[in-house]
Structure 1
Amino acid sequence: MTGTHQTMTLVLFSAVIAVTLAITTWASRRRQGSPEEFYAGGRLFSPMENGLAIAGDYMSAASFLGISGLIALYGYDGMLYAVGFLVAWLVVLLLVAELVRNCGRFTLADVVTARLRERPVRIASGISCVTVSVLYLVAQMVGAGSLVALLLGGASGAARSWTVVGVGALMVVYVSCGGMRATTWIQIVKAVLLLGGAVTLTVLVLMRFGGDLGALLSSAAERSGHGRDFLAPGLRYGGEWTHRLDFISLGLALVLGTAGLPHILSRFYTVPTARAARRSVVWSIGLIGAFYLMTIVLGFGAAALLGSGALRGSDAAGNTAVPLLSLELGGGAGSTGGAVLFAVVAAVAFATILAVVAGITLASSASVAHDLYASMSKRGARGEVGVARVAAVGVGVAAIGLGLLAQHLNVAFLVGLAFAVAAAANLPVLLYALFWRRFTTKGAVWSVYGGLLPAIVLVLLSPVVSGGPDALFPRLDFAVFPLENPGVVAIPLGFFFGWLGTVTSREVADDARHAETEVRSLTGAGAV
């Protein structure tokens, strides 16, 4: 891109940042000292507003950049990411949303400790939620770096690294100053912008092919370098048994992980009632479903109009497929139309990243303050909001460091790892606490650590970290676990250790507290 076009994009980037900071400034003028205001925005959002915010929180850089890039590179197999992300919301709607809103206040641990001993469960759950949040944040950092590297004409270097640092600094400001109210409105604005941008690009892609989806798919297969195999299963997850098992592992992680994501669960506390939480999910399913249908068109459109060679030349992981597609749809490199459309899409993608990192950072800082600090400190909940602000800085620093390390990995793939950890460590303890009468405190602690530790260890021992040219440490080789995603092993272990800890515990389940929790979860009686 020329210097003029780069300037145009940077101006739009600056406008996005200015708008988000203005929202944060507005929100900071409201009283942020109470946990209800800081963590839940006063519980005053309507189902439509919360549904838009959930969609804005969920449609991350992995969705807009990563999934489209995987489809452009791997065709059918890349599309499986979009299917998994969407199907996951049925689990959230049927098993989680309403019950979590009735049983908790701010975090996952609130639900579990409704009938168990607080301190050990809160510590375990807090550690798990922070781990998941940091992994998810890394993906957003990588997406931001890919965008700016493309804008400045390079695939790596100082620009990418400084972008990661800048996004981390902004997310700390959003959370520390604006809390949930600012985060929610940033997510709503971002969701509207992202859906508008996706609709525009989808219409332009279909116009290029006269509305003929068959022609689009045929052209994509032809220019992909794989022929008709591009439209059939197996290009990425076929062949060896490890690839097939990796697909099963990924599917389990995507479908089950959403219900265990801390920043998604925290959104159910921002509405006044359980009915509003359920309606929020219905709104979000409609918006997210439409969006993922459009990412499929965009991914195949990028393959058809650009070819896999150009995409891999810009970013080997495919993270820049959509920005490059917008450049082509606007008239090509060097054209004013291409530069304008590229600038708009890049700014929308950057807004996407900012909104998502704000939500994740808020959820993780809430876990640190509300679960870890409040349970371990003699002061209890006093000063909790101040601790959450400090925790946001710590989480930001950790995410920046890991984001700098993982810059060359696909963002959708990175999110898949976060989903696997969430499904292994958070979902089993949540479902056991809601539905199993005999569940005990020992079972809850074992369930969290029994899913979290194997997931982390298996990732460290996988080809993602070492043993290949695309690994984090390509010159080392300690990859003894053959799969890239640990979900197929770690998720059953989370459920197994929850069961084992319960049946070997000497603690007698409190039937009265379970009955109280059951009534509260189903009816909302006594809900905050």
Structure 2
Amino acid sequence: MTGDHRSLALLLFGLFVAATLAITTLVSRRRRGSPEEFYAGGRLFSPMENGFAIAGDYMSAASFLGISGLIALYGYDGMLYSVGFLVAWLVVLLLVAELVRNCGRFTLADVVAARMRERPVRIAAGVSAVTVCVLYLVAQMVGAGSLVVLLLGGSSATAPTWTVIGVGALMVVYVVFGGMRATTWIQIVKAVLLLSGAVLLTAFVLVRFRGDLGALLGTAAERSGHGAAFLAPGLKYGGDWRSRLDFISLGLALVLGTAGLPHILSRFYTVPTARAARRSVVWSIGLIGSFYLMTIVLGFGAAALVGQQAVRESNPAGNTAVPLLAADLGGGPGSTGGAVLFGVVAAVAFATILAVVAGITLASSASVAHDLYASLSRSGAGRFSEVTVARTASVGIGIVAIGLGLLARNQNVAFLVGLAFAVAASANLPVLLYTLFWRRFTTRGAVWAVYGGLVPAVVLVLLSPVVSGSPGSLFPQADFHLFPLENPGLVSVPLGFLAGWLGTCLSEDEPDEAKHAETEVRALTGAGAV
């Protein structure tokens, strides 16, 4: 894009950023500064509002850019992400949403600490939450860099750098000044924009093929260069045993990971009751399900209209497939219609990134302040208030995410989110389910469950082909990978559950029956819930 067309797209970027900053400024004037206001927005959101906010939080750059790109590159195998991300919400709805809202206050650690010794489990859960959030943030940074490189014609080597830094700075502003209330409204606005943009593009793709899905798939297969194999399993995860195990590992991580994501769990505390939390999930499932069905059309549409080669040339990981599709649907590169549609889609995608990073940063800074700081400070609350520590922590987390985002700029964003899901499923889900459903579960079991899933997951990622040993790894010139799979979920998730069971069996302390009974009554009835 050049000249006026580039200016138009940049203008749309600027308008959204200005609108979200205005929301943050308006909300910051009304805040009371209490932890309940900063972490949970006063618990005043309706199920519909929270459902839209959850959808906005969940439909990240991985969904809009990454999944569609993977489908454009790998066809059938790319759809695994769409299916996995959607099916995961059944686990959230049936197992954790209502119980977490009844048992906790602000974070995952609140649920576990309700029946355990607080200090060790809060530290463990806090470390895990921050690790998952930082991994998730990296994916959003990479998506932002890919968008701006495309906007500037792909010729500026410094574009990813200043884009990642800019996104990091904005997310810190949203969290520090607006808290949960501003973050929620930004996510609601973003969800509406994203769904509207997806509906518009999907309609254009279907009109282009006169509603004939068979023609769409046939053209996509033909232009992919793989023929019928493009529409069959195995293009990415077929072949040798490593690819097949990677397929199973990724599916396990996607389905189980959502229930352990800190920024998703924290959204259940923004509504007044457990019933409202459950209804929020129902709203979000409807919105998210509709969106993921549209990403399938967009992915195959990009393969059919843009072509797999053009997608790879623009971004080897496929992150720019949807913006390229938008430009083609609007009349082609260089046309005014293409520039307008590209600008709209790019602005929506950028809105997606800003909203998601704000939610993740808020969840991670809450864990630092509410769990780690309160547990490690000698006097309980320490010299500074939790809200002050949370705002300070958001700055530090933003700096770490910026650095890692610059390092991982060539990775597919959906793939990076899959790693975050694997860590969440390995470290957070075992301790959460054991706490809610196992009467004998002890403090040692809780700590072992967290670290027993977290440490193997992180170590296996560091020793995998993602970091070294392949042309697309973070360090392509080095080769120190020992673990053959790209996603650690197949190994690390069972290890998390095994560590929790083993720690409980070897624990010298007897479980507190009174605390368990109190937690069970609160979880099932809501009696005594905050």
TM tier, smaller = over 0.9
* Separation (CA, whole Å) in 2 of partners of 1:448 and 1:16: 39
Deviation at 1:155, TM superposition (A): 6.4
Q: Which residue of 1 aligns with 2:352?
A: 352
Superposition map of 1:109-148 within 5 A? 109-148=109-148
Match status 1:375 vs 2:382: no
Q: Which residue of 2 aligns with 1:188?
A: 188
Q: Which residue of 2 aligns with 1:440?
A: 442
* Separation (CA, whole Å) in 2 of partners of 1:165 and 1:8: 22
Q: Secondary structure at the match of 1:75?
A: helix
Q: Which residue of 2 aligns with 1:521?
A: 523
* Separation (CA, whole Å) in 1 of partners of 2:183 and 2:76: 35
Match status 1:2 vs 2:2: yes
Deviation at 1:2, TM superposition (A): 1.6
Letter paired with 2:523: S
Summarize deviations over 1:142-163 as a string: whole Å, max 9, x none: 0000000000001661011100
Superposition map of 1:282-297 within 5 A? 282-297=282-297
Letter paired with 2:419: L
Q: Secondary structure at the match of 1:73?
A: helix
Letter paired with 1:175: V
Q: Is the 8 A contact 1:146 1:155 kept in 2?
A: no
* Separation (CA, whole Å) in 2 of partners of 1:458 and 1:317: 22
Count, aligned residues: 528
* Separation (CA, whole Å) in 2 of partners of 1:436 and 1:32: 39
* Separation (CA, whole Å) in 1 of partners of 2:464 and 2:333: 39
Q: Which residue of 1 aligns with 2:275?
A: 275
Q: Which residue of 2 aligns with 1:414?
A: 416
Q: Is the 8 A contact 1:104 1:111 kept in 2?
A: yes
Summarize deviations over 1:421-475 as a string: whole Å, max 9, x none: 0000000000000000000000000000000000000000000000011110011
Q: Which residue of 1 aligns with 2:457?
A: 455
Letter paired with 1:372: L
TM value normalised by structure 2: 0.99
Q: Secondary structure at the match of 2:30?
A: coil
Match status 1:69 vs 2:69: yes
Q: Which residue of 2 aligns with 1:478?
A: 480
Q: Which residue of 1 aligns with 2:203?
A: 203
Deviation at 1:380, TM superposition (A): 2.2
Summarize deviations over 1:15-66 as a string: whole Å, max 9, x none: 0100110010011012241000000000000000000000000000000000
Q: Which residue of 2 aligns with 1:468?
A: 470
Query: Tell me, which stretches of 5 or more residues in structure 2 are unaligned?
Result: none
Q: Is the 8 A contact 1:145 1:161 kept in 2?
A: yes
Q: Which residue of 2 aligns with 1:243?
A: 243
Q: Which residue of 2 aligns with 1:232?
A: 232
Match status 1:223 vs 2:223: yes
Q: Which residue of 2 aligns with 1:319?
A: 319
Deviates more, 1:136-145 or 1:374-383: 374-383
* Separation (CA, whole Å) in 1 of partners of 2:375 and 2:311: 49
Q: Is the 8 A contact 1:250 1:487 kept in 2?
A: yes
Q: Secondary structure at the match of 2:179?
A: helix
Match status 1:492 vs 2:494: yes
Q: Secondary structure at the match of 1:515?
A: helix
Query: Tell me, which stretches of 5 or more residues in structure 1 are unaligned?
Result: none
Letter paired with 2:104: G
* Separation (CA, whole Å) in 2 of partners of 1:479 and 1:509: 41
* Separation (CA, whole Å) in 2 of partners of 1:355 and 1:74: 28
Deviation at 1:258, TM superposition (A): 0.1
Q: Which residue of 2 aligns with 1:329?
A: 329
Q: Is the 8 A contact 1:263 1:360 kept in 2?
A: yes
Letter paired with 1:149: V
Q: Is the 8 A contact 1:155 1:314 kept in 2?
A: no
Letter paired with 2:2: T
* Separation (CA, whole Å) in 1 of partners of 2:472 and 2:392: 35
* Separation (CA, whole Å) in 2 of partners of 1:177 and 1:155: 35
* Separation (CA, whole Å) in 2 of partners of 1:377 and 1:28: 28
Match of 2:387 among 385, 388, 401: 385
Letter paired with 1:430: L
Q: Which residue of 1 aligns with 2:17?
A: 17
Q: Secondary structure at the match of 1:476?
A: coil
Deviation at 1:376, TM superposition (A): 1.1
Letter paired with 2:225: G
* Separation (CA, whole Å) in 1 of partners of 2:230 and 2:292: 19
Q: Which residue of 2 aligns with 1:101?
A: 101
Deviation at 1:305, TM superposition (A): 0.4
* Separation (CA, whole Å) in 1 of partners of 2:228 and 2:157: 37
Deviation at 1:367, TM superposition (A): 0.2
* Separation (CA, whole Å) in 2 of partners of 1:225 and 1:412: 23
* Separation (CA, whole Å) in 2 of partners of 1:139 and 1:157: 19
* Separation (CA, whole Å) in 1 of partners of 2:276 and 2:192: 21
Q: Is the 8 A contact 1:86 1:289 kept in 2?
A: yes
Summarize deviations over 1:493-525 as a string: whole Å, max 9, x none: 000000000000000011111011001000000
Q: Which residue of 1 aligns with 2:27?
A: 27
* Separation (CA, whole Å) in 2 of partners of 1:487 and 1:149: 32
* Separation (CA, whole Å) in 2 of partners of 1:115 and 1:38: 25
* Separation (CA, whole Å) in 2 of partners of 1:114 and 1:277: 19
Letter paired with 1:106: F
* Separation (CA, whole Å) in 1 of partners of 2:182 and 2:407: 30
